[in-house]
Amino acid sequence: MQKFIVTGGKRLRGELRLQGSKNSSLPIIAAAMLCSDECVLKNCPRITDVYAASRILNCTGCKCSFSGNTAVTDSRCMNNNEIPENLMSEMRSSIIFMGAMLGRCGECNVSIPGGCELGPRPIDMHLAALRKMGADIREEMGRIRCRATGKRLHGARISLAFPSVGATENIILSAAAADGETIINNAAREPEICDLCGFLRKCGADISGDGESRIVVNGREKLHGCEYTVMPDRIAGATYLSMAAASGGEIILTNACVSEMEPFLSVLEQTGCSISADENTIYLRNGSRLKAVGDRIRTMPHPGFPTDAQAVLMSALLKAEGTSVFEENIFDCRYRHTDAFMKMGADIQVMGKIAVIKGVKRIYGTSADATDLRGGAAMISAALSAEGTSEIGSIYHIDRGYENIEKAVRLLGGDMQRVGM
């Protein structure tokens, strides 16, 4: 099993090019299934979740291959609409292939993606919406069999009880190839939704309103391939900025999506670091001890503070002057990284959805397993600002979303190695 060995105490300094977005690449790879020919997807991160998405595409007879950060997909030979359980369980987002397959061939057979490390993640909204669009859905022994009752799904007016990112994506994917108009009310407004819609529009889809809470999709019988560049990863960006801030460093983040990162940057700025930005570059400098964030940090759907950045920002606040308070409103079980932080000497109290962080002067290296993707990245960040050496295990969680994270940290002057087989 591989581990990361991280020795803290170095100020991170330097320039880093931000990787492409995981949460955009996954639905866009699924969307490529809707196209009748080749798609060239640039700026795809080389991470295990993206490879899992490509394996799903390949198992349906579509092709997906990589050359560096470019993925080339070809969906002409699709011949299978059944995804085996082992592929479905590799990542929770495999569920978005359901909408794409229903859109492409009016039929699919997938398995329930299963529980995950952030607590229960139901898919009731996905299923209710697809049923409203004419899908007959049967759940038997962990499998979900879906079939359009007509030849294709039909458009529908859908109001989501919560702006779920995955449900919004599944509806968009199936609606893009459905018969007629679909209206999604209370749609998720995450930038990755806009990226998916941007890709689909380039393939000939008729979609408007993405980025707002009412999205309108007019189904098309056929979509064509295109060349598309995936947006930068705002959460990886938040991670490297938090690491640099925690270490008292200085970083230039290029290829960044500055406006999409505003909800994070405006909170990080309250810690007293100096942040400036132009169109796609962020400069961060922090020469002194960070200050606690005065306002409660509430995770919310976009444009609120992103839940995916909660753990990494917390890692920067462990040694801040004063007390910071987080309120996690999206997932039930998203403070599991706090055990490792406390083992490092952090002063944290968790009560349900609230976590209170009282800044301490020092934290110390420890051994701990990554609990989940962002929690694992946050442990690396904490380890970089701790005294001594940390050993972080279960790093397969981290590899799901970060492209060569140890190389990025070392480029910034951090001391981090990957060891083991």
Q: Which is nearer to ligand UD1, 68 or 122 (CB)?
A: 122
d(CA 245, CA 268): 9
In the complex, least distance from residue 197 CB atom to ligand UD1, rounded to whole angstroms: 14
Determine, following the binding rule CB under 6 A, whether residue 125 of this chain makes contact with ligand UD1: yes
Of the listed 35, 77, 116, 273, which one is catalytic? 116
Residue from the set 12, 16, 123, 253 that interacts with ligand UD1 by CB under 6 A: 123
DSSP state at residue 278: E
Spatial strand order of the sheet with 214-218 comes to 157-159, 181-185, 214-218, 206-208
Using CB under 6 A as the criterion, what x/- string covers residues 344-363 for binding ligand UD1? --------------------
Nearer to ligand UD1, 73 or 168 (CB): 168
Minimum separation from the CB atom of position 196 to ligand UD1 (A): 10
Tell me the CB-side half-sphere exposure of residue 223, using CA atoms within 13 A.
33
- In 95-254 the beta strands, taken as DSSP E runs, fall at 107-111, 135-140, 143-148, 157-159, 181-185, 206-208, 214-218, 227-229, 250-254
Q: Which one among 55, 121, 285, 418 touches ligand UD1, defined by CB under 6 A?
A: 121
116 catalytic per annotation:
yes
User: Which pair of tokens denotes residue 212?
Assistant: 């707002």
**38-46, 122-130, 240-248, 402-410 -> range binding ligand UD1 (CB under 6 A):** 122-130
Residue corresponding to tokens 């009748």: 36
Instruction: Pick from 23, 310, 338, 390 the residue near ligand UD1 by CB under 6 A.
Output: 23
Q: Give the distance between the most distant pair of CA atoms in the chain.
A: 65
Q: Are 79 and 63 contacting, i.e. CB atoms less than 8 angstroms apart?
A: no
Stretch that binds ligand UD1, among 138-146, 162-170, 248-256, 270-278 (CB under 6 A): 162-170
Site for ligand UD1 in 47-106 (CB under 6 A): 93
Binding map of ligand UD1 across residues 374-413, x = CB under 6 A, - = no contact: ----------------------------------------
361 Cα distance to chain centroid: 32
Interface with ligand UD1 (CB under 6 A), residue from 308, 369, 372, 406: 308
**368-394 core/surface letters (b: 16 or more CB in 10 A; e: else):** bbbbbbbbbbbbbbbbbbbeebbebbb
Residue 347 forms beta bridges with which residues? Answer: 358
Q: State which of positions 183-222 bind ligand UD1 (CB under 6 A).
A: 188, 192
Interface ranges with ligand UD1 (CB under 6 A): 23, 26, 93, 121-126, 162, 164-167, 188, 192, 307-308, 330-331
Q: Tell me the catalytic residues.
A: 116
